[in-house]
Structure 1
Amino acid sequence: MFSRPRRNRKSAAIRNMIQETHLGVEHLIYPLFLVDGKNIKDEVASMPGNYRWSLDLLLKEIEECVNLGVVSFDLFPAVDEALKDKKASYSYADENFYLHAIRKIKETFPEIMLMSDVAMDPYSSDGHDGVVRDGKILNDVTLPILSRMALAQAQAGVDIIGPSDMMDGRVAEIRQTLDENNFEDVSIMSYTAKYASAFYGPFRDALDSAPKSGDKKTYQMNPANKREALIEADLDQAEGADMLMVKPALAYLDVIHLLNENYDLPITAYNVSGECAMLYAAAQNGWLDYNQAMPEMLLSMRRAGASAILTYFAKDFAKLLKA
């Protein structure tokens, strides 16, 4: 006699009954690109089906997503070059269209979860996540800028702050600033293990946020390193992060699993633009079935241990469930 695992796969009813990992729209966060202006819906060439939205049309897009069951969003600004400077001062300016959009979105949809992005690169004339001086990215000089940016976003009404910069000590600086200004309830989802990846290209195209010189390897993690993620996670947890993120996701499933096994905080994953673009391209060429491969890709991240996934597939996945 020998074991027959296939008996547990013999029908859909049995397979569904004993399924270990579940994926639903409640696990997904939808990244959205915002531009200043009106009546703008500009498709990102390297990410078919994803757009740079003006606020008036973005509100309609969010309403459509909510009706599909998608209620969590991460908002990213595409900032005009003329508004950028070396200290990203527009990031916390009163007239910042991004901050006005946060207010309007939360007024219109108070029930949704809205996450923000805290980093200098969308607003920096250097295109880096920190202040650049003589070719060097300065860590400690950057921290007050990030905390001021985070405070402005909290004041606008954001639910979760997402520091994506990878500066040392920024979670503590942001947490202290938020608490001192009575924003104790605003969460921090730290980009804990953010790797210096080749998979960010389409995102940088969407926001025109690529570095003007050099690269980000002195602050983003080396893709060859896994145990280093534990060092970053220890620091972020101690400094007050509420959730720990791994970015990218698909090529770093082992890191998602590692953090999930070692920390009680929720682990999130960012299914980044390049990972999604690969599937878009393969599906357009008929090499993969999009409606089969896309859920499988997301399921792998949940199986690895991600409580939530930031993904450009969120709306398509919701539509697939409704079909």
Structure 2
Amino acid sequence: MSIAFLAALAVPHPEAAAAPVKIRIAHGIPPAHLTPLLFQKKELLKNYGKTYEVQLIYVANTSAQIPMLAAKEIDITWTAYSSFAAAVMNAKLDLKLILDILSYGEPGHFTSYWSVMKESPIKSIKDVKGKRIAVPAFGTALDIAARIALKKAGLEANKDYTPVEVNFPNMFAMLSQGKVDIAAITTPFIYDPKISSKVRKVFGAEAAMGKIQALMHAVRGDFLAKNRAAVQDMAEDYVRAWRWFLTPANREEALNIAAKFTKRPRAAYEWALTRDKDSYRDPYAQVDIKVLQGNLDVMHQMGYLKERLDISKFADTSIAAEARRRVMAAKN
């Protein structure tokens, strides 16, 4: 064979070189978690199938993703302020925060809260003393929020009350059956008339630390280093679709997408994408680093972090910023 022929064989075929990068993205329950819905409206996704494609992976809580990240079973995690701290400080994972999911404590917006049965003697947070409180997996956003709020009220976990791990879909069942005394029944379950008619609010997550940058997406550092262009293109599409879903004029179609994806009745989502019944989301899916740092500082001050975590070392704000720039430029 000629040297020229062998050299030609060594050159990658253009189509092979252009194969889209598969990004495995973990998500929670939609439509509270918009992430899986964003990738259903393909006409909004300019880069999908060209530079990247996604594999959506449902994971019930944030803590469960720490071993998945360590085993490289997912590339982008959905994480909470608390579980992110555990991932980088305890598990020593290399992660970078890149995109917003939702926040708590924003005035005028829904914030997750703890409920009791209407006939319960529990009237205030101090009445939780001696009771069993249902939280998602230990170390998650609402678990830590509950512990801090109760600690501020003078109550210590496993001394003055008993935390019980319960997955969100089972919260009301555990509460109504008397297996716990107070539970975090959040969206979409709290808007089910069969549930909302039987419970009442006692305290919300904002009692812990005011505004909370509750949930975010973070990418594995090694994956970002190898596939930065693909992650950036995904973030651009994420923000473009995010903007579409947050636009009131698109709400009806957005809810139809949610109903189709979840295989639930459209009527089950009347609360979604409204100001007062849904959580706050940054208009361009940017993580609020200042609020997040404050949340982590409270965790440290209250004894839930051994050391102060400087979140700026674990956030790549340029990803969302560039996505915003591209989306805004395309509109002009």
TM-score, normalized by the shorter chain, greater than 0.5 = no
Scaled by the length of structure 1, what TM-score is found? 0.29
Question: Looking at both structures, which has the greater relative contact order when contacts are Cα pairs under 8 Å and sequence separation is at least 6?
Answer: 2
Scaled by the length of structure 2, what TM-score is found? 0.28
